[in-house]
Amino acid sequence: MSQGQFISNCAADTLSSAAESMKNGALVAFPTETVYGLGADASNEKAVARIYEVKGRPQDHPLILHIASMNDITYWAEDINDYAIALARAFWPGPMTLLLKRSDKAKDFITGNQEIVGLRIPAHSLALNLLAEFKKIGGNGIAAPSANRYGAVSPTTAQAVSAELAEYLQPEDQILDGGSSLVGVESTIIDCSKENPSILRPGAVTAEMVEQSTGIILLEAQEPIVRASGSNKQHYSPKARVLIGKDAQLGDGLIAMDGVLTPDGVNRLASPKNNEEYARILYSALRQGDDAGLGRIYIDPPEGLGLAVAIRDRITRASSS
Ligand code: TXA
Ligand code: MG
């Protein structure tokens, strides 16, 4: 089976047929602004079970539910805090997932038996169009984790999804190609089920941005009160061993800001000029290192606040074993 066989370029009618096949239980991987997701009808238990099979992910890990518009929040969630509505208004569509008290529509097979559900409206035209087409035919939301095997690096291109998952897909499944994801790291996860919101996973919607545009102060989650697979220590790992720093040796890979010199004989995988570019290329640079068969990749993390916090979080996880 060739890896490319699942990839569709997106002509207008591709999305309605993708939505249709998802309604019939197929899996559809699709681009978002953060990373590619592996989507299934969030109301279809069998289809959602296939996500777990294809990812090789433990059954009790909850999935993020992608919705088409703010109107769909109350289908899946209830008793919504005012601050959660303010966050959604400020940052949706966008790289932010809100954990809310679930309604009876969000079943255990989505929430991993928890009383909260994760919701997000992605900021990607193809994802939004797919969600809209799905809604037209009676769909209420698309469950989609990142489209990688469990524990591996999230894919930021259709080709990376195919390389990760093609061997586990069925003929009716497909991968929609929307080019490279612009943000490159997974959404910020904010727990909105308590009196005060807290960040469970840092992302491109930063605590500083939230405070500036809404006045809401996000707490740091002391320890994950809820199970979030991205909060397992080892996650987002390539095959190569990841070491933090820039002292790469002969034959190693190196990811570091532009301006950091490449030692002789070192395979420079990326030289981003700022944090936005760093987040965007981090996962593809790790994949490139694996494709080149490198044994070790050194990563020199960016400093400071903002998006650098999310980048350091993913680098730390990739390096822990
Ligand atoms: O940017 C993203 O969030 C991407 C794109 C595809 O939207 N999705 C993504 O999904 O990163 P995933 O499943 O790889 O990571 C989502 C994280 C997981 O750690 C999951 O456990 C957590 O969100 N999560 C989702 N729903 C949850 C819930 N009800 N309670 C606790 N954690 C939840
Ligand atoms: Mg993931």
Q: Which residues surround ligand 2, an ion (CB under 5 A)?
A: 146
CA of 265 to the centre of ligand 2 (A): 33
What per-residue confidence (pLDDT) applies to 1?
A: 44
Tell me which of 97, 99, 161, 232 to substitute to probe ligand 1's pocket, judged by most ligand atoms within 8 Å of the beta carbon. Answer: 97
Read off the pLDDT of each residue in 55-79 and give the average, rounded to a whole number.
95
Q: Is 63 in the pocket of ligand 1 (CB under 6 A)?
A: yes
Residue 228 pLDDT class (50, 70, 90 cuts): low
Q: Is 275 in the pocket of ligand 1 (CB under 6 A)?
A: no
What per-residue confidence (pLDDT) applies to 131?
A: 98
Residue range 22-52, pLDDT digits in tens: 999 999 999 999 999 999 999 999 999 999 9
Where is pLDDT greater, at 229 or 59? 59
CA of 250 to the centre of ligand 2 (A): 32
On the question of pLDDT at 224 being above 70, the answer is: no
Q: Helix, strand, or coil here: 291?
A: helix
23: DSSP letter: H
Q: Which atom of ligand 1 is nearest to the CA of 148?
A: 14
Please give the single-letter amino acid code of residue 259: G
Read off the pLDDT of each residue in 263-291 and give the average, rounded to a whole number.
98
Residue range 80-102, pLDDT digits in tens: 999 999 999 999 999 999 999 99
Number of H helices, E strands in the chain: 10, 15
State both tokens at 144.
């989609």
pTM: 0.95
Backbone angles phi, psi at 270, to 5 degrees: -165, 150
On the question of pLDDT at 15 being above 60, the answer is: yes
Residue 9 pLDDT class (50, 70, 90 cuts): confident
Q: Which atom of ligand 1 is nearest to the CA of 114?
A: 29
CA of 187 to the centre of ligand 1 (A): 8
What per-residue confidence (pLDDT) applies to 234?
A: 59
Helices (H), the chain: 12-23, 45-55, 73-76, 82-91, 108-111, 125-136, 158-165, 207-214, 275-291, 307-319
Q: Is 198 in the pocket of ligand 1 (CB under 6 A)?
A: no
Token pair 């097979």: residue:
109
On the question of pLDDT at 223 being above 70, the answer is: no
Q: Which atom of ligand 1 is nearest to the CA of 34?
A: 1
Where is pLDDT greater, at 86 or 220? 86
Comparing 66-75, 104-113, 121-130, 235-244, the range with the smallest average pLDDT is 235-244
Q: Is 145 in the pocket of ligand 1 (CB under 6 A)?
A: yes
Read off the pLDDT of each residue in 254-268 and give the average, rounded to a whole number.
97
Q: Which atom of ligand 1 is nearest to the CA of 112?
A: 29
Alpha-carbon distance of 74 to 87, in angstroms, equals: 15
On the question of pLDDT at 225 being above 50, the answer is: no
CA of 265 to the centre of ligand 1 (A): 39
Q: How does the average pLDDT of the chain come out, rounded?
A: 94
Tell me which of 33, 64, 66, 190 to substitute to probe ligand 1's pocket, judged by most ligand atoms within 8 Å of the beta carbon. Answer: 64
Q: Which atom of ligand 1 is nearest to the CA of 229?
A: 19
Please give the single-letter amino acid code of residue 91: F
Q: Which atom of ligand 1 is nearest to the CA of 186?
A: 1
Token pair 């990142």: residue:
146
Query: Which residue lies with its CA nearest to atom 21 of ligand 1?
Result: 228
CA of 194 to the centre of ligand 2 (A): 24
Q: Is 99 in the pocket of ligand 1 (CB under 6 A)?
A: yes
Read off the pLDDT of each residue in 182-204 and give the average, rounded to a whole number.
97
Read off the pLDDT of each residue in 159-182 and give the average, rounded to a whole number.
97
Please name the helix (run of DSSP H) or strand (run of DSSP E) that holds residue 127, with its range, or none.
Answer: helix 125-136
Residue 259: name the closest of 245, 247, 274, 248 by CA. Answer: 274
Q: What percent of the chain has pLDDT over 70?
A: 94
On the question of pLDDT at 200 being above 90, the answer is: yes
